[in-house]
Amino acid sequence: MAEAKRYQKIIYFTILPFCILWCAAILIAPLWHDSPGIRGTVSEYTYSFFSKSCHQIDDRSFQLGANKFGVCSRCTSIYFAFLLGVILYPFIRKINNLDLPSLIFLFAGAALVVIDAGLDIFEVYKNTYVTREITGAILGFVLPFYIIPGTIRVFYEYFLPPDVIPKK
């Protein structure tokens, strides 16, 4: 059991710094955008990296100075709320609690994003920074409560001998 708890902490403390770096990259892109040398190159690569998953439209992105964040406002809200969820996870649910919350929370968060985007796409209601931020933050905050225990369960399944896996 002690070995399983050690792996739970390792997984959590691998996810946490990854999230911090991910969110830092969103801010580094505009901070270093006009910088010469390696910082400017890092900024360019960061924008390029995030462009694979985000539209990065200027008028839908937060600005830092004259430069947009690495991702749009909805993605920024998703990622920073995800980081907040990861930070708060051990206080809300213990790391050794591998039970997933009801899927209704995950589907509700995703549905809010789809509804907000869909209403805008079909020109029923033009979404705003506020609606994009709120819907993104809700989805981002609930995701760690599925990803952290899910990652631990996958790790147990594939990398631990059955006698080490904690029983309910």
DSSP 3-state percent helix, strand, coil across the chain (nearest 5): 70, 0, 30
- Helices 73-92, 2-31: inter-axial angle, 10-degree rounding: 150
**Tens-of-pLDDT digits for all 168 residues of the chain?**
677 788 899 999 999 999 999 999 999 999 999 899 999 999 999 999 999 999 999 999 999 989 999 999 999 999 999 999 999 999 999 998 889 999 999 999 999 999 999 999 999 999 999 999 999 999 999 999 999 999 998 888 887 766 655 665
- Which among 74, 78, 44 has a CA at the least distance from the CA of 59? 74
Q: Which pTM value belongs to this model? A: 0.91
Phi, then psi, of 67 in degrees rounded to 5:
-115, 140
How far is Cα 8 from Cα 102, in angstroms, rounded to an integer? 21
How far is Cα 101 from Cα 21, in angstroms, rounded to an integer? 27
| Length of the chain (residues) | 168
